[in-house]
Amino acid sequence: MPPVLLKLGTTGYRFARYYTHSGSYVEKGPPALPMRLMAPFFVVTTIGVLATGVWLLLLGHKSDQLLFFHKLFFFVWGAIFVIHFLVYAPRVVRSLRSDWSSARRHAVPGSGLRGMLVAASIGAGAALALSLLSTIGNWHSG
C-alpha cells in the first residue's frame, strides 16, 4: 500500500500541476489518450482492491459480498495493470537509465529525495505487512 500511495500521490501531483496550467507540466502534455481515459478507472480499482482487501482482513472472516467486490475490483484492476505495465515499462527503463547516469543526476535536482521516498515507501510496506501477519492467521484457520 505505501508504494501505491506514493505512486498515486506523484501522478496526482502531476495531474494537479497540469490542470493548474503549470508551464513545464503543460509543455510535457497529458498522457496518451487511451492511458488518459484509463487512468481514473485504474485509480478507482487500485483503491477498491486495496480497501476491500483491508476490510476483509479486519473482518477476519469470509464475507461473500465483500469477497465478490474484492475479486471484481481485482479482475478489472488486473486487466488495466497489464496494459499500463506493457505501455510504460520501456519508458521506465529509459528514464531509470538516464536518471542513474551521473551527469543527469547532477542536472536533475531531487533525485536524492526521490530515492528516499521510494525506499521509505517500500520499507513502510514491509513493516506494515509484517505487523499484520498475525491478523492474517484468522483466514488460514478458515
Return residues touching ligand HEM (CB under 6 A). Answer: 4, 7-8, 11, 14, 31, 35, 39, 42-43, 46, 84-85, 88-89, 91-92
Cell of 65: 459480498
Closest to ligand HEM by CB, 120 vs 138, is 120
CB of 101 to ligand HEM, least distance (A): 18
- Distance separating alpha carbons of residues 127 and 3, to the nearest angstrom: 12
Backbone φ and ψ for 20, nearest 5 degrees, come out as -105, 20
Closest to ligand HEM by CB, 1 vs 63, is 1
Q: Is 9:136 a contact under the CB 8 Å cutoff?
A: no
Closest to ligand HEM by CB, 4 vs 56, is 4
CB of 106 to ligand HEM, least distance (A): 21
Q: Which residue has the cell 485509480?
A: 43
One-letter identity of residue 127: A
